[in-house]
Homo-oligomer: A and B are copies of this chain.
Amino acid sequence: MAENNSLKNYPIHEIPECLIHGRTDLTGEAVPLFWNGSGLELCVSGSELWIDLEAGYEQYEPWISCEINGAFITRQMLMPGRQSLCLFRGMSPGEKKTVFFRREVQAFHEDEKNYLLICGVRTDGEFFPVRERKYKLEFVGDSITSGEGTYGAKSDNDWLPMYMSVSVNYADMVGKAMNAELRLISQCGFGVYCGYDNDVRHVMPAYYDQICGVAFGEHNRSLGAAKPYDFSSWIPDAVIIHLGTNDDVAFDNPPFIDPDTGKYYKIRKNSEINNDLNQSDVKRIRTAVISFLRHLRKKNPKSLLLWVYGMIGHRLSMPIASAVLDYIEQTGDLRAAFLELPDTPEENLGSRLHPGQAAHEKAAEIIVEYLKKNL
């Protein structure tokens, strides 16, 4: 390999110009990428660019993807430890390249050891300001927002990082169409009132105020994951809440008994009829929607709050829509809305029975149409 002796080393905090994407803590020496879509964006000249990383995990490995000048170039699994990835080499030194390096997978609350740090970059080029985007959008979601099923064969049913992505993801499609900077916070299996497993701890509202509360364990704590998130640091034009799918699934799943309290949790159906839901349990979900909206408004005084739902079934469309309406009526807050997304037909499924690329494209189209008219 031809040695390039003019590479200069830039620790992450000494890069003259760069844009760090995603909720993170900047106080450490390296910058942790906690959430799906978190990353580093550069506008750099030179012939060669390397990124210095540190990664660790027990069970669920981090994946990364990288775009150059807006085009998908690479997607790969990371090995643990310190490492340096070449993002490009042999390019015309004079040209500016926009490089967008991202964490391709969600945070993993199941794997306390999972972490990914950007330590710095090495290049023979100079740095230029990264283009300002027109909007800022935050997405709060579950496996759909984690891009589960956007890679992998239809027949694949393992639950693996490999099948998740931001590179094929309705949120990224919306961002590109709207020229928006994105922050995603999402966990597979999580809901608004409870998770797919009836576990009431598996809900995004419980973690919304922290930088990345679902990144458990000492090490992640030391990286700042559990710190309160500074909502004034990045003010979204819209917060898109994409929750409810797992609350829905919970109606069909076994109860959860809290190991600590022994308390029993289960949202119920009255009968085996598909949509014969126990209305008092539905009420719990509606209440959870309303209180999350109230909380989101407190944290995001200026943002449009858009609740989207429906890519994996419509059973909770009406309860969520009317909860959103109740919120509006109770608060007079006109900057909140519900938008239903089309259910995913069998032919548009990706892996693990989750929406595939075509389904993400349809959803993105509908959200974009809405945002264009309402931002």
Contacts and interface: CB of A to CB of B under 8 A. Distances in A.
Interface in A306-355: 310, 314, 317-319, 321-322, 324-326, 328-329, 334, 337-340, 342-345, 351
Contacts of A69: 152-153, 155-156
A275 interface: yes
Contact of A71 (B80, B156, B279, B343): B156
A268 B163 CA distance: 49
A79 B2 CA distance: 11
A48 to B, nearest CB: 11
B2 A58 contact: yes
How many subunits of this chain does the assembly comprise? 4
Contact of A339 (B88, B160, B314, B338): B314
B334 A324 contact: no
Nearest to A89: B61
Interface string A139-182: 00000000000011101111010100000000000000000000
Contacts of A153: 68-71
B276 A334 contact: yes
A272 to B, nearest CB: 12
A227 interface: no
Contacts of A319: 325
A242 to B, nearest CB: 15
Nearest to A155: B69
Nearest to A151: B73
Given A1-B57, A321-B321, A373 B73 contact: no
Interface string A64-91: 0000111111111101100000101111
A329 B69 CA distance: 47
B343 A369 contact: yes
Given A1-B57, A70-B153, A90 B160 contact: yes
A92 interface: yes
A246 B287 CA distance: 31
Contact of A1 (B68, B80, B156): B80
A236 to B, nearest CB: 19
Given A1-B57, A1-B58, A337-B318, A342 B325 contact: no
B351 A366 contact: no
Interface residues of A, number: 69
Contacts of A92: 157-158
A176 to B, nearest CB: 13
B89 A334 contact: no
A228 B44 CA distance: 46
Interface centre among A88, A158, A273, A342 (most CB of B within 10 A): A342
Contacts of A91: 158, 160
A353 B274 CA distance: 38
A241 to B, nearest CB: 14
A178 to B, nearest CB: 13
Contacts of A79: 1, 86
A353 to B, nearest CB: 14
A60 interface: yes
9 closest Cβ pairs, A-B complex: A322-B322, A340-B340, A321-B321, A69-B153, A318-B325, A71-B153, A76-B76, A1-B80, A342-B366
17 contacts: A1-B56, A60-B90, A68-B162, A71-B153, A72-B151, A73-B75, A74-B77, A276-B334, A314-B339, A314-B370, A317-B338, A317-B339, A318-B338, A321-B322, A321-B338, A343-B366, A343-B370
